[in-house]
């Protein structure tokens, strides 16, 4: 095992992990182990502390490669590069970029990791953002249009898997894998557990060894912390995207961290939370982000199209008026 593992104390972790979680393990020896990864809390419930540590360390190594917030990560170096430069990246980064590219194509560009300049413009980049605190001035239409000119995965970057390199084609183009990296990390970790376990990385959850009951967090303050409960089968992952995770309000309007690449503004599709279940954690994570952008109707079309390859795929939509709808799996009352 290389590197030093970053652990987090349980009390802190509990305060930070409220989006989406809860289940009980049959295995009475199972314990919750807390770590710090991707700027959030990783909670692994398992009887095997060594397997949990190994999974956490692997995720922390992935973070060092793909985090935009780390200047010398692969993504940090790509973001700092000038147009025309090619940056050689590690295997983990290239694999994730290829998954991101597939998600970009499958969602007709609604999931697009090149929205990074817009994420920054609206004040949601890691490091800039404090929950609930609005910038003094919102971006102007001209500023939005200028940053939108740097967006579009198919035209802003060229991936070359042969040489493991990424060429920047548009000056100022940047990548942000925040909409896919956590779901991918959870899914990849599941193969490392020999017994029952539940992996919760800041609201992206995967389970093995048995069915787990997962509560879907209420997107607005309410009496109940959960809007409902879904069953997650062994080997499946679940990801939620919502307008309540990172947001601020200005002049009575909410601005949140999921950006519509076509308007350049925070997504406004009538949905305030989307949950996707899929054994491919990267795809499920990217889809939940993309459906927030493109809306329920488009989301249902994508789910239909993907269900032959992923028969387990399922979703829960929460509308602006707080009504809910499901696709592919029932939700029980919380
Ligand atoms: P998630 O919570 O998985 O929906 O991911 C949201 C994060 O993904 C944001 O904080 C941004 O870093 C990034 N992001 C925002 N909008 C998009 C988009 N349309 N496509 C891909 N990534 C996005
Ligand atoms: Mg996502």
Residue 26: pLDDT band (50, 70, 90) is low
Q: What value, to the nearest 5°, has the Cα angle with vertex 120 and ends 119 and 123?
A: 95
Write the CB contacts of 88 (distance below 8 Å, at least 6 apart in sequence): 163, 164, 165
Percent of the chain with pLDDT strictly greater than 70: 93
| Residue ID of nearest Cα to ligand 1 atom 3 | 179
Q: How far is the CA of 133 from the centre of ligand 1 (A)?
A: 19
Is pLDDT at 52 greater than 60 in this prediction? yes
Residue 57 to residues 4, 35, 65, 215: CA-CA distances in angstroms?
Answer: 8, 9, 13, 27
Whether 156 lines ligand 1, by a CB cut-off of 6 Å, is: no
Q: Are 63 and 92 in contact (CB under 8 A)?
A: no
pLDDT of residue 18: 32
pLDDT of residue 8: 74
Whether 129 lines ligand 1, by a CB cut-off of 6 Å, is: no
Q: How far is the CA of 186 from the centre of ligand 1 (A)?
A: 17
Round to whole Å and give the CA distance between 219 and 322. 8
Residue 238: pLDDT band (50, 70, 90) is very high
Q: Are 42 and 54 in contact (CB under 8 A)?
A: no
Among the bound ligands, name the one nearest to the CA of residue 243: 1
Q: How far is the CA of 286 from the centre of ligand 1 (A)?
A: 8
Round to whole Å and give the CA distance between 306 and 328. 12
Is pLDDT at 29 greater than 90 in this prediction? no
- Residue ranges of the alpha helices (H) in the chain? 10-16, 49-66, 74-80, 91-106, 116-121, 141-148, 153-156, 181-190, 281-294, 296-306
Note the pLDDT tens digit of each residue in 262-290. Answer: 999 999 999 999 999 999 999 999 999 99
Is pLDDT at 27 greater than 80 in this prediction? no
Q: How far is the CA of 78 from the centre of ligand 1 (A)?
A: 18
Is pLDDT at 1 greater than 70 in this prediction? no
Assign residue 130 a region (left: φ > 0; alpha: ψ between -120 and 50; beta: otherwise): beta
pLDDT of residue 50: 96
Is pLDDT at 313 greater than 50 in this prediction? yes
What beta strand segments (E) does 237-330 contain? 237-242, 247-250, 253-256, 259-260, 265-266, 271-278, 314-319, 324-327
Residue 258: pLDDT band (50, 70, 90) is very high
Is pLDDT at 254 greater than 60 in this prediction? yes
Q: How far is the CA of 195 from the centre of ligand 1 (A)?
A: 32
The predicted model scores a pTM of 0.94
pLDDT of residue 4: 72
Enclosing H/E stretch for 134: none
Q: Are 51 and 193 in contact (CB under 8 A)?
A: yes
Whether 115 lines ligand 1, by a CB cut-off of 6 Å, is: yes
Place of tokens 């949905």: 271
Across the strands, what pairs with 33?
44
Segment 44-49 mean pLDDT: 96
Ligand 1 test: best mutation among 102, 178, 219, 282, most atoms within 8 Å of CB?
178
Whether 280 lines ligand 1, by a CB cut-off of 6 Å, is: no
Round to whole Å and give the CA distance between 188 and 182. 10
Please state the atom number of ligand 1 nearest to the C-alpha of residue 112.
Answer: 20
pLDDT of residue 130: 86
Percent of the chain with pLDDT strictly greater than 90: 84
Residue 51 token pair? 């397997």
82 burial level (CB within 10 Å; 0-12, 13-18, 19+): exposed
| Residue ID of nearest Cα to ligand 1 atom 11 | 178
Helix axis angle, 91-106 relative to 49-66, nearest 10°? 80
Please state the atom number of ligand 1 nearest to the C-alpha of residue 180.
Answer: 3
Whether 113 lines ligand 1, by a CB cut-off of 6 Å, is: yes
Question: Among 1-5, 50-54, 66-70, which is the least confidently predicted range?
Answer: 1-5
Please state the atom number of ligand 1 nearest to the C-alpha of residue 203.
Answer: 2
Residue 174 to residues 149, 152, 180: CA-CA distances in angstroms?
Answer: 12, 10, 15
Spacing of C-alpha 189 from chain mean position: 15
Q: How far is the CA of 78 from the centre of ligand 2 (A)?
A: 21
Whether 179 lines ligand 1, by a CB cut-off of 6 Å, is: yes
Note the pLDDT tens digit of each residue in 144-184. Answer: 999 999 999 999 999 999 999 999 999 999 999 999 999 99
Domain boundaries, given as residue ranges, for the chain? 74-168
Which SS3 state, helix, strand or coil, does residue 231 take? strand
The architecture that CATH gives domain 74-168 is Orthogonal Bundle (1.10)
CA-derived radius of gyration, the chain = 19
| Residue ID of nearest Cα to ligand 1 atom 12 | 178
Note the pLDDT tens digit of each residue in 194-206. Answer: 999 999 998 899 9
pLDDT of residue 98: 98
Q: How many residues does the chain have?
A: 334
Residue 308 to residues 107, 303, 305, 311, 313: CA-CA distances in angstroms?
Answer: 16, 9, 7, 6, 9
| Residue ID of nearest Cα to ligand 1 atom 6 | 179
Among the bound ligands, name the one nearest to the CA of residue 241: 1
Q: How far is the CA of 18 from the centre of ligand 2 (A)?
A: 17
Note the pLDDT tens digit of each residue in 125-140. Answer: 987 788 888 899 999 9
Is pLDDT at 66 greater than 60 in this prediction? yes
Write the CB contacts of 300 (distance below 8 Å, at least 6 apart in sequence): 327
Note the pLDDT tens digit of each residue in 74-107. Answer: 999 999 999 999 999 999 999 999 999 999 999 9
């Amino acid at each position: 095992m290389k590197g030093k593992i970053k652990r987090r104390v349980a009390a802190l972790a509990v305060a930070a992990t409220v989006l989406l979680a809860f289940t009980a393990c049959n295995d009475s020896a199972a314990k919750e182990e807390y770590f710090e990864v991707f700027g959030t809390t990783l909670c692994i419930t398992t009887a095997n502390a060594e397997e949990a540590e190994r999974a956490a360390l692997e995720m922390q190594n992935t973070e060092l490669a793909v985090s935009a917030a780390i200047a010398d990560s692969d993504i940090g170096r790509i973001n700092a590069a000038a147009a025309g430069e090619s940056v050689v990246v590690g295997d983990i980064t290239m694999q994730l970029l290829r998954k991101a590219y597939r998600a970009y194509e499958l969602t007709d560009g609604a999931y697009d990791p090149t929205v990074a300049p817009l994420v920054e413009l609206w004040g949601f980049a890691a490091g800039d953002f404090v929950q609930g605190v609005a910038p003094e001035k919102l971006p102007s239409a001209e500023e939005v249009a200028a940053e939108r000119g740097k967006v579009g995965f198919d035209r802003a970057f060229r991936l070359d898997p042969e040489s493991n390199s990424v060429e920047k084609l548009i000056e100022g183009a940047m990548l942000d894998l925040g909409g896919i990296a956590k779901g991918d990390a959870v899914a990849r970790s599941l193969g490392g557990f020999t017994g029952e376990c539940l992996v919760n990385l800041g609201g992206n959850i995967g389970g093995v060894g048995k069915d787990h009951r997962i509560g879907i967090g209420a997107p607005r303050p309410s009496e109940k912390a959960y809007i409902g409960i879904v069953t997650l089968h062994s080997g499946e992952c679940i990801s939620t995207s919502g307008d309540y995770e990172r947001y601020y309000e200005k002049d009575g309007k909410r601005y949140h961290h999921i950006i519509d690449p076509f308007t350049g503004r925070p997504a406004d599709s009538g949905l305030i939370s989307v949950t996707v279940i899929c054994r491919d954690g990267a795809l499920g994570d990217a889809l939940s982000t993309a459906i927030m952008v493109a809306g329920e109707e488009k989301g249902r079309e994508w789910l239909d199209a993907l269900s032959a390859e992923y028969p387990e795929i399922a979703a829960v939509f929460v509308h602006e008026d707080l009504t809910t709808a499901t696709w592919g799996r029932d939700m029980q009352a919380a």
